[in-house]
Chains A and B, each alone.
Chain A
Amino acid sequence: GDSVTQMEGPVTLSEEAFLTINCTYTATGYPSLFWYVQYPGEGLQLLLKATKADDKGSNKGFEATYRKETTSFHLEKGSVQVSDSAVYFCALVYNQGGKLIFGQGTELSVKP
């Protein structure tokens, strides 16, 4: 079945370091891909999305490119801040299905 796999956490970085969180997916069709973020004590928020192959989603300095050939949607940021500390979830959805299929989440901790 369809699934999303993220790199294991927790990831601990120093402020201003480069961030990559890997996400790969298994899908029978052509889903849309999302990154959601959950800050401590808060609900899930959409960070960015891409709806077709080669699309790049971006927001708040984060980027991810929909790579159909490698079935990946890796999240990157050039310089992380302490305020980026959160749990990041990669997810996919089909136009026909509607339900989000989530990866297991990756906890990011940024130290000053």
Chain B
Amino acid sequence: GAGVSQSPSNKVTEKGKDVELRCDPISGHTALYWYRQSLGQGLEFLIYFQGNSAPDKSGLPSDRFSAERTGGSVSTLTIQRTQQEDSAVYLCASSSRRGQETQYFGPGTRLLVL
């Protein structure tokens, strides 16, 4: 079956521009997570969605970052007024439910802010 997919695979943008990153989770998975992988900070949690519950936004680094999940499936991570320190690989994962279930990761979106 299909895994987690993300688009675009690569994104180059200029400082100050807004970007949208998309994630398609595994069909039927109710939990969806965003992480960021950067050289200086390793793998960091950003936000997660579980069903119809309010998302856990505790990992978002600033109010320039936001995410939504429409219809309990596809998710979009938006970064407004991008900064060079936002350059990283943004990873999406999904699992069948919250908690200790295995999270399956997508290939990531590599974002470069010039």
Interface residues of A (CB under 8 A from B): 31-32, 34, 36, 42-46, 49, 51, 89, 91, 93-105
- The reply to whether B48 and A102 contact each other, CB–CB distance below 8 Å, is no
- Please judge, given known A-B contacts A98-B31, A100-B35, whether A43 and B91 are in contact too, CB under 8 Å: yes
Q: Give 9 nearest A-B pairs by CB, closest first.
A: A102-B43, A95-B99, A32-B100, A98-B98, A44-B105, A99-B45, A43-B107, A104-B42, A43-B105
- The reply to whether B107 and A42 contact each other, CB–CB distance below 8 Å, is yes
In the complex, what residues of B have CB within 8 A of residue A100's CB? 33, 35, 43, 45, 93, 103
- The reply to whether B105 and A95 contact each other, CB–CB distance below 8 Å, is no
> Contacting A98 at CB < 8 Å: which of B35, B42, B99, B108?
B99
Taking A44-B91, A99-B33, A105-B42 as known contacts, 19 extra A-B pairs with beta carbons closer than 8 A to each other, sorted by chain A number, are A31-B100, A43-B107, A44-B93, A46-B102, A89-B43, A93-B99, A94-B99, A96-B99, A98-B33, A98-B48, A98-B50, A98-B56, A98-B95, A98-B99, A99-B48, A100-B33, A100-B43, A102-B42, A104-B42
